[in-house]
Amino acid sequence: MTVDYIKKCCLAACVLFAFAMPLFVHSPTYLHISIMLLLFAYMTTSWNLVGGFAGVLPLGHSVFVGIGAYTSTVLWLQYSISPWIGMLIGGVVSGIVGYLIGKPTLKMRGAYFALSTMAFVEGVRVVVENLSYIGPFKLNGPRGLNIPPIPAGENSFFAFQFAHKEPYYYIILIMLIAVLALTWYVSRSKMGYSLIAGGEEPEAAEALGINVTRYKVQAMVMSAFLTSLAGTFLAQLTLFIYPKSVLTLDLSFELAFIALIGGRGSIAGPVVGALLLRPVSEFSRIYLSDSLPGMHLILFGAILIVVMLLQPSGLTAPLTKKFNAIVEKIANRKTKPRGVSDEHA
Amino acid sequence: MDFAFLLQDIISGILMGSIYGLIALGLTLVFGVLKVINFAHGSFLMVGMYASYWAVSLTGLHPYVALCIVVPVMFYFGYFLQNFLIKPIFVAEKDVREPTTVIIVTTGVWYMLDNMALLIFGPGYRALTPNPLKGQMLEFGDIFISVPKLYGFLIAIATALLLYLFLQKTRTGRAIRATSLDRDAASLMGINQWKIFNIAFGIGTAIAGISGVVLTPFYNVYPTVGVPFDVKSFVIVVLGGLGSIPGAIIGGIIIGLIESVGPVYMTSTWTEAIVYMLFLLVLFVKPSGLFGQKYDW
């Protein structure tokens, strides 16, 4: 048993557990919490493509969530185009917007980039809140859009609506696994190495002939496309969207928080961050929001400060270290009695 | 008559804009010295407003006498906050060029302060109760000038001048300027850069406190009052040039003018969009802002 083998087994066990979870958890509340956890892990992993690897701090990803949510919803309500197709169209629109906003801003220093993405979200929110229509598309201003539910108890794959929570769970789980695989692939590609180099030492990377900005823009477009898909999912899950639910700075900040607490630039970071933070916010919202309003955000802020003070690179690094130590211990214990070490096997 | 209306809007725009500029002044100072965007600045403003609200409500002092209490309290609040929360990260990230972790810590402080205010004081809007300035107006023919805003304008200009003189004339001020230009060289010259960071952060926080005192007589106090001002001050400091004192005041006045003259020509919600568009435009065309320096940091 090699270290690698044990790690693969652990990964397989995690995936298996994730797929089997709805078989023994039937409570809609817990399923909903799990769905939200996976959704945030998905969005943060998409954020991580540009925010983690490229070493910049985008604080405007809720724009892409909003574009995804609004595009698919408008297409479904006005033209009866399936949200599945709307999801892809929204992704393409987001990708284009990501290119247009990334091209000029990604050349800027970190602080300016963070501020301009923030201003972008606020600007888009103000515009959407003030528009009833963009051309023929009805946005309904601050009142938002309602997606009429299909008859109760029915499932419709075409309408992206299901009677129970389980299908949503599996959809977002598969989306998360896909985006994690993509991140893994990117991190081992030329693009990934260029992004990391450009994020850490931009001058040195430029000197080596890497067009840092071009790779950053590519990452931004990918990230925008993927984040946008989550927007459609969110719209179909809640069946109601309005500017303050999908186009807020709060959402953008939460993605950055999750990534930073988990560990930006690592593949598992966003998942670890979501696992740690989403339950905090969900449970404190359920149990504390009546008696102690704002408590979950105080906890959020406190966790953020403590983690940043004690472990600025996020919690994934120490956890991985611990995990590796345990795996190695197991591997050694299994091999030693036979007197064969890894090198000779 | 029409011209009088316009003049009225221009004057109120300048008055309100100078107060925006005052808020941005604290942000720009902290940025200039620490190279950190303090996301908690709006929350400091909120703390300043609550402090001034309680100082006046409990003791019945004149609203501006509250400055004597709020300014030192806020100064030390900022001083120790920088010393215990932000300095450790600076030490840990010494060779990181763009300290994004610090931005995130200030965001954590923002979330904590705003929601602690919500927890302690509740979500309600509070207006200053013994308020001798309430609704006072100066009348010049057709033009009315709000007295608390006029005082705000005067205090903003006075604060900017005092800060300017402090930075130019005093030893500490010169040390602050030296640190903002090159912190390593300043350290080699015997300046304790951590102390300078503390002082600069303290002054920035104290200025947020002054803005709070100035705003309280004519603005409601509530837990998230800082957020719109926070975003507005980011726009202002980028517009005026990060780290520039005249840039902050003039940038503030520009934003104030857009907000107050804009609604004459369009619905008032669109002026907010114009502010953000202007912000993005300035970033694209001249990222160093109107008065920004070209120093590489």
Scanning B29-58 for CB atoms below 8 A from A yields 31, 35, 37
User: CA–CA separation, A172 vs A39, rounded Å?
Assistant: 6
User: CA–CA separation, B81 vs B78, rounded Å?
Assistant: 5
Of B89, B116, B270, the CB nearest to A312: B89
Of A119, A292, A298, the CB nearest to B279: A119
CB contact under 8 A, B37 and A105: no
Q: What is the DSSP string of A264-302?
A: TTSSSHHHHHHHHHHHHHHHHHHHHTTTSTTHHHHHHHH
B144: helix, strand or coil: strand
Lowest mean pLDDT among A192-206, A211-225, A311-325, B91-105: B91-105
The pLDDT of residue A65: 95
Q: Are the CB atoms for B46 and B186 separated by under 8 Å?
A: no
CA atoms within 13 A on the CB side of A322: 5
Model confidence pLDDT, tens digit, residues B203-262: 999 999 999 999 998 888 999 898 888 888 888 888 888 778 888 899 999 999 988 888
- Mutation target among A57, A101, A107, A115 for the B interface, most CBs of B within 10 A: A115
User: CA–CA separation, A149 vs A131, rounded Å?
Assistant: 25
A119-155: burial string, b at 16+ Cβ within 10 Å, e else: bbbbbbbbbbbbeeeeeeeebbeeebbebeeeeeeee
Average confidence (pLDDT) over B124-153: 83
The pLDDT of residue B245: 85
- Tell me the whole-structure pTM to 2 decimals: 0.87
Task: Answer whether residue A22 shows pLDDT above 80.
Answer: yes
Which of the 8 DSSP states describes residue A208? Answer: T
Scanning B93-122 for CB atoms below 8 A from A yields 93, 98, 100-101, 103-105, 107-112, 114-116, 118-119, 122
A-B interface: how many C-beta pairs under 8 angstroms?
A: 123
State the DSSP H helix or E strand holding residue A96, giving kind and residue range, or none if neither: helix A83-105
Q: Are the CB atoms for A300 and B111 separated by under 8 Å?
A: yes
Average confidence (pLDDT) over B270-279: 83
| Percent of residues, chain B, with pLDDT higher than 90 | 33
Contacts of A110 in chain B (CB under 8 A): 98, 100
CB contact under 8 A, A293 and B272: no
User: CA–CA separation, A181 vs B55, rounded Å?
Assistant: 57
The pLDDT of residue A343: 45
Amino acid at A59: L
Task: Answer whether residue A338 shows pLDDT above 60.
Answer: no
Hey, what are A113's tokens? Answer: 């980039």
User: CA–CA separation, A45 vs A183, rounded Å?
Assistant: 8
> Considering Cα of A102, then A103, then A104, then A107, what sign does the dihedral take?
positive
CB contact under 8 A, A123 and B35: no
Task: Answer whether residue B287 shows pLDDT above 90.
Answer: no
State the DSSP H helix or E strand holding residue A134, giving kind and residue range, or none if neither: strand A133-134
CA–CA distance from B77 to each of A195, A242, A305, A322, B67 (Å)? 39, 38, 17, 38, 15
Residues 6+ apart with CB under 8 A from A121: A59, A60, A62, A63, A247, A248, A249, A252
Model confidence pLDDT, tens digit, residues A199-256: 777 778 878 878 888 888 999 999 999 999 999 999 999 999 998 888 888 889 889 8
User: CA–CA separation, B242 vs B293, rounded Å?
Assistant: 8
CB contact under 8 A, B115 and A297: yes
Nearest CA in chain A to B273: A123
The pLDDT of residue B18: 93
Lowest mean pLDDT among A62-71, A211-220, B59-68, B96-105: B96-105
Average confidence (pLDDT) over A150-154: 78
Average confidence (pLDDT) over B254-283: 83
